[in-house]
Amino acid sequence: MPPEQRPGRGWLLRLVIAFAFAQGAVSMARPAVSYRALSLGADERAIGVIAGVYALLPLFAAVPLGRRTDHGRCAPLLPVGVVLIGGGCALSGTSGSLTALAAWSGVMGLGHLCFVIGAQSLVARQSAPAEQDRNFGHFTIGASLGQLVGPIAAGYLISERDGAMARTSALALLVSAAVAAVSLTSLWRIEHRRAAGAARKAAPKVPVGSILRTRGVPAGIFISLAVLSATDILTAYLPVVGEHRGIAPATVGLLLSLRAAATIACRLVMTPVLRLVGRAALLSVTCLLGGLLCAAVALPVPVWGLAVMLAVLGFCLGFGQPLSMTTVVQAAPAAARSTALALRLTGNRLGQVAAPAAAGLTAGVAGTAAPFVMLGALLVGAAGLGLRGGGTAAADPPPGPAPGPRAERPRARRNPT
C-alpha cells in the first residue's frame, strides 16, 4: 500500500486498548484457574497438564487461521477471539472437575490465539516496514497492561481463608469473562479497507517448508517460544511457589504485575535501545540475563528479593516478543506474513503445551523449583540462537533485492499483505 493510502494511527490505539482488556482477562484467568484447580485437589502435575491444555487446541488451529488471514480480512478474528476467551473464562468458573476445567481452559486458549493472529496480522499489514518495530512494540504494550492489571485483580479477589478458595477463584474467573467483553467496544472499523482489499489479491500460497527455511524465521520462532514459555510458567507456577513459601495470593498477584510493569517500561524505551545496541545483540543479551534470573527464582530468597528479580526479568523478557514479530514478518515472503506469524504462534503454543507438561513432571519429581531452572536453560539456548541469526533478517535490510524469499521485500512497501 502506498504511504499516502496508509491508515492513521487511531486504529493502533484502539487495538492496544482491546488487547489490554483481552489479555487482562486471560492474565486474570490463568492464575485463577491454577487456584481453582488447587481448590479441587490438583497437585503440581495436574496444574502442568491444565496449563498445557490451554495451548493444545491453538497448536492445531494456528496455521489454518494464518492461511485464511493471508488471503482475507484480519478484523473478523478479533470478536471471535473475545467471545471464546469470555466463554472459556466463565465456564472455567462454573466447572466442578479438573477435566472440565482443563477443557474450558483450552477454549480460552483458542480464543486468545484467534485474537492474537488477527491483531498481529493487522499490525503487519497496516504498518510501513520502518514502523514495524515501533508498532509491534506499542501493540505488545496492550498485552503488558493486561498482564499488569490481571494478576493484581485475581490476587485481590481470590482468598484462601476459611476454605473460600473454590468460591473466590470462581468469582475471579467470572469477572475475567466480563473484562474480556469490554474489549469489543474498541474493535469498530479497525481494519483499513484498502489493506483488506489488497489481501484478496495476494499471491498463491507459499509452502510452509519454504517459510520455515527462510533465514531469520526459525530463530524468531524459537526466541518467541522461549520467552513466552518463561512468561507462561511464571504465571502458572508462581502461585504454587507462593503456596509452598507461605506467600499470600494477593502478594503473588503483585509480583506478577510487577514483572508486567517492567515489561511495559522496556517497550517504552525499546526503539532507542534497539537503535543503540542492534537487534541480534539485544535479543541475545536479554535472553541470557532472563535465563539466569529465571533459574534464580528457584532460590529461597525473601519476597523483596523475588520482587527485584521479577522486575529485571520482566524488563529483559519484554524485548523478545515484539522483536521476534518483526524478525519473522520482515524475513517471510510478503504473501505469507500472516502464515509466518501463525507459525510463530504455533511455536509459542507448542512451548505452552510442552513447557507446562515438562514443568509438571519436573516439579512432581524434583520440586517446584525445577521448572524455573528448566526455563533458564531454554532462554540461554535462545540467547545463542539470537546471536547467530535472530536479528539478521529484520535489522537494516539491504538496499537491493536479495535472492530467495527476501526478494519480496521491495514489493512489501506497495502491498504489505
Please choose, from the candidates 31, 6, 45, the residue with its C-alpha nearest in 3D space to the C-alpha of residue 168: 31
Contact between 39 and 166 (Cβ < 8 Å) = yes
* Helices 44-53 & 217-245 angle (0-180, nearest 10): 140
Please choose, from the candidates 315, 308, 311, 310, the residue with its C-alpha nearest in 3D space to the C-alpha of residue 273: 315
CA–CA dist 144, 5 (Å, integer): 30
Contact between 349 and 105 (Cβ < 8 Å) = no
Using DSSP's 3-state secondary structure scheme, residue 397 falls into coil
Burial 375-407 (b: 16+ CB within 10 A, else e): bbebbbbbbebbbebbbbbbbebeeeeeeebbe
| pLDDT in the model for residue 176 | 94
pLDDT in tens, the chain (417 residues): 444 445 456 888 999 999 999 999 998 998 899 888 888 888 877 887 887 788 777 778 888 888 888 777 888 889 999 999 999 999 998 888 899 999 999 999 999 999 998 898 888 888 887 788 788 888 888 887 887 788 888 888 887 666 678 888 899 999 999 999 999 998 887 877 655 455 555 556 777 788 888 887 888 888 888 888 888 778 777 887 787 888 888 888 888 888 888 888 888 888 888 888 887 888 888 989 988 998 888 788 889 999 999 999 999 988 888 888 888 887 777 777 888 888 888 888 787 677 766 766 776 666 667 778 888 888 888 887 766 655 444 333 333 343 344 444 444 444 433
Place of cell 504473501: 335
CA–CA dist 347, 5 (Å, integer): 34
Q: What are phi and psi of 391, to 5 degrees?
A: -110, 0
Residue 367 exposure: Cα atoms within 13 Å on the Cβ side: 9
3-state helix vs strand vs coil in the chain, percent to 5: 80, 0, 20
| pLDDT in the model for residue 315 | 92
Task: Give this prediction's pTM.
Answer: 0.73
CA–CA dist 339, 121 (Å, integer): 9
* Helices 279-296 & 320-331 angle (0-180, nearest 10): 140
| pLDDT in the model for residue 68 | 83
Grid cell listed for 98: 479438573
Please choose, from the candidates 303, 231, 217, 220, the residue with its C-alpha nearest in 3D space to the C-alpha of residue 262: 231
Please choose, from the candidates 247, 250, 378, 231, the residue with its C-alpha nearest in 3D space to the C-alpha of residue 301: 247
DSSP line for 96-139: -SHHHHHHHHHHHHHHHHHHHHHHHHHHHHHS-GGGHHHHHHHH
* Type of residue found at 381: G
Place of cell 524475513: 331
Residues, the chain:
417
Please choose, from the candidates 26, 47, 48, 49, the residue with its C-alpha nearest in 3D space to the C-alpha of residue 35: 47
* Type of residue found at 108: M
Grid cell listed for 325: 514479530
Helices and strands, counts by H and E, the chain: 18, 0
Contact between 44 and 360 (Cβ < 8 Å) = yes
CA–CA dist 61, 66 (Å, integer): 9
| pLDDT in the model for residue 101 | 92
Backbone dihedral region of 41: left (phi > 0), alpha (psi from -120 to 50 degrees) or beta?
left
Contact between 41 and 99 (Cβ < 8 Å) = no
Q: How distant is the alpha carbon of residue 190 from its chain centre?
A: 21
